[in-house]
Amino acid sequence: MTSTLHNEHTASVNTAKRNNLHITGSGEKIIILAHGFGCNQTMWRFLLPELEKNYRVILFDYVGCGSSDFTAYEADRYQRLEGYALDVIEICDDLDIQNVIFVGHSISSTIGWIIADQRPELFSHLISICPSPCFLNCDPQYQGGFDRQDLEGLVELMDKDYIGWGNYLAPLVMGSDLAPIGPSMNDSDALVHHLLTSFCSTDVTYSKPFAVATFFSDYRTLLPKITHPCLLLQSSNDALVKVSVGEYTQQHLSNATLEIIEAKGHCLHMTHPIHVLNHIQSFLAQH
């Protein structure tokens, strides 16, 4: 079993439907693209045309996100990030693939570390876009970005005013104001609205447990266990993840490279796809 996805290896009907699985591109090496909280696989559309030229690309939606099969949702399983990690593990096992490149955005970076610890043979490289092992301000030595009470208020808002929650969070994540829909909208405005639509199109039944698992978890102790070559792509101005968090992550991983991209926002693969692609290609060429 290698990174090559042979024609006879296809996901089971249940897994393909469950995770809205799509496999595209050509090449010997496989890349898995894992979206972040509140997102779906369409967020990778700016990287896809270039990646397809040299890689087999696996796109999917976590159960409870995007166009996944919501009837497959198991409340107990998806209370913790390990449940989302199991989605990826089962996809790899179904396709009989190992030694693949895993690209995770935001919390999917942590999910990738969980998988790498549990099943190290599945991945050859880990690429993280705006990662954070913990979003909480834990102590003076580690400031993840948010006080617990602020995050609790944000999660409570999901129940009280879901649209208002999305209207607050989407511009914060994208690093751009929420402009009115109309002919004066620019590309940046369109990206914020795309993210807002993704946030608000998912039922709070599924998005709230994912939010809790994302924002209240602490996986810092996992970092030293990861030995795969890791690339960390950090935005220089990210309201969710400070540069200091990227530096902390790089220091505690055993084999990591940190690249800071001059940009605003938490979605570099959408706002600065060329920069992301260049760093990915350079990193893989070196390793």
Active-site residue list: 106, 238, 266
Nearest CA among 134, 130, 204 for reference residue 164: 204
The pLDDT of residue 7 is: 45
Provide the residue range defining the domain that includes 252.
Answer: 13-133+219-286
* Amino acid (one-letter) located at 53: K
CA pair distance 265, 239, nearest whole angstrom:
7
pLDDT digit string, tens, across residues 216-235 = 999 999 999 999 999 999 99
Is 167 contained in some domain?
A: no
Is 149 contained in some domain?
A: no
Where are the strands (E) in 106-197, listed by range?
123-129, 137-139, 142-143
Phi-psi region of 223 (alpha: psi -120 to 50; beta: other; left: phi over 0): alpha
Is 72 contained in some domain?
A: yes
pLDDT digit string, tens, across residues 60-71 = 999 999 999 999
CA pair distance 152, 261, nearest whole angstrom:
30
Residue 8 has pLDDT above 50, yes or no: no
Total of domains in the chain: 1
Cα angle at 271 between 111 and 55, to 5 degrees?
60
pLDDT digit string, tens, across residues 142-166 = 999 999 999 999 999 999 998 888 8
Residue 215 has pLDDT above 50, yes or no: yes
Where are the strands (E) in the chain, listed by range?
22-25, 30-34, 56-59, 100-105, 123-129, 137-139, 142-143, 230-237, 256-264
CA pair distance 2, 11, nearest whole angstrom:
16
Is 166 contained in some domain?
A: no
Is 181 contained in some domain?
A: no
Q: What is the enclosing helix (H) or strand (E) of 205?
A: helix 204-215
Is 94 contained in some domain?
A: yes
Please report, for the domain that includes residue 109, its CATH number. 3.40.50.1820
